[in-house]
Amino acid sequence: MKKKKYFKQILKDFWQGKMSLKFSFWIAFFLVGGAFSIPLFFITDAYIDNISDGLASLFFLYIIVYWIYLIIVYVGTWRSASNFKPKKNQWSWGTIAKVYMVLNILRGINQLIF
């Protein structure tokens, strides 16, 4: 029961941008998000046309979970980047992270359309 509460609190803190930008961007967004997207590189249109109904259902479930993860990680990382306060004479890593995320979203939209 404590683990469930602990996980909910971490998820709530992440959603609100209370986690560090290092964790939000490099761990949740970049590493875990990158690992989570690996199956998408192997599943092509030709592969989808030839799979069984059960496997197609699993793939559909994966896509739903993946999109939920993307929404959570984009919102949490964006808010974390907004809360980031650079030290004197330091680059604004929060702004750089936001630019990267916007470019990543535009790339994703481009892939969906074309």
Q: pLDDT tens digits, residue range 64-102?
A: 999 999 999 999 999 999 999 887 777 789 999 999 999
- Show the tokens assigned to 93: 């890593």
8 A C-beta contact, residue 78 and residue 17: yes
- Give percent above pLDDT 90 in the chain: 62
**Better-predicted residue by pLDDT, 2 or 96:** 96
Q: 49-65 as b/e, with b when 16 or more CB fall inside 10 Å?
A: eeeeeeeeeebeeeeee
pLDDT for the residue 47: 78
Question: Residue 14 pLDDT > 80, yes or no?
Answer: yes
Q: Which domain holds residue 38?
A: 2-113
Enter the DSSP assignment of 44. Answer: -
Determine the pLDDT at residue 81. Answer: 95
**Per the structure, how many domains does the chain have?**
1
